[in-house]
Copies of this chain bind each other. A is one copy, B any other.
């Protein structure tokens, strides 16, 4: 019995290509004391993995060539050296990786409660994407009732939750997404107050029209030209949560907007990484589970099947072709 896994074979230049990865097989590792062996049933893909494929150090070390690609996984315990997690327990691992099996320390795993939501939702709204939205919006954005919140990549795993949580907090929420289908989804299924298509020719004017009172919080998942269109609309005292720069991952040398508004409008910009805020997980799980059970958070996932579909799904996500949180069933 072997472990099939996806390893990085070359550092992507720009958008990753299938040839940058390879599926190989390796012996299944055995758990040591305090560890468990997981058999993965779902993988969750996130743009952050792209960051670690480059040579530049970001908030984590870059991956080495030959490493299994970093990512979230859901699995069942198939061998346990940790009394707290007996065989058969369903868990979520933030760093299970793009493979069929992984070994993890028990304290780094989250128990998956399928009475709250199906296992795959623990990769999205109840997983890293949902917690990223929750912590970034509430702790760093600090929304107040009646404020205008703009979120980019609004139909994606993080953005869809940012907008819905902001609505629950009484904000006017404007989503930015690419294409008429996503715009309609964001407005009609997710219940945003307005949604704007960044691919349309009149994007900047449409965004301005959708924000008649300016923008108090911009939750940025993309950077680049979309960010530049939001920038002049920021209100005095505005906050920008820098959660992702997906438009810039393929070229981290792009410039940013001038700083004059930072001064004149006393803006606050916060780069953030969810893993710095793990202490908020209990409140997050309590609130988000409640909202899901009350039907106040709409779940949308982009589901593929099989390890072979992981790389194509990842490339689709990085080029904006996904629809909701990107997950792969194994």
* Identical copies in the complex: 2
What is the bound-complex CA distance between A185 and B57, given in angstroms?
37
Q: Is the CB of A258 within 8 A of B248?
A: yes
In the bound complex, residues from chain B placing their C-beta under 8 Å from that of A130 are none
With A59-B265, A59-B266, A266-B59 known as contacts, the answer to whether A260 contacts B245 (CB < 8 A) is yes
Q: Is the CB of A258 within 8 A of B262?
A: no
Q: Answer whether residue A51 sits at the interface, using C-beta atoms and an 8 A cutoff.
A: yes
In the bound complex, residues from chain B placing their C-beta under 8 Å from that of A254 are 258
Q: Answer whether residue A269 sits at the interface, using C-beta atoms and an 8 A cutoff.
A: yes
What is the bound-complex CA distance between A271 and B276, given in angstroms?
23
In the bound complex, residues from chain B placing their C-beta under 8 Å from that of A245 are 259-260, 263
Of the candidates B242, B248, B253, B266, the one whose C-beta lies within 8 Å of that of A272 is B266
Name the residue of chain B whose CB is nearest to the CB of A266. Answer: B271
Of the candidates B252, B272, B276, the one whose C-beta lies within 8 Å of that of A260 is B252
In the bound complex, residues from chain B placing their C-beta under 8 Å from that of A243 are 263
Q: Answer whether residue A172 sits at the interface, using C-beta atoms and an 8 A cutoff.
A: no
In the bound complex, residues from chain B placing their C-beta under 8 Å from that of A257 are 255-256
Smallest CB-CB A-B distances: 6 pairs: A58-B264, A262-B271, A269-B269, A252-B260, A266-B271, A256-B256
Q: List, sorted by A's number, 18 A–B pairs whose CB atoms are closer than 8 Å.
A: A51-B264, A58-B263, A59-B264, A59-B265, A227-B259, A242-B259, A242-B262, A244-B263, A245-B260, A248-B260, A255-B258, A256-B259, A259-B271, A263-B273, A266-B270, A268-B269, A268-B271, A269-B269
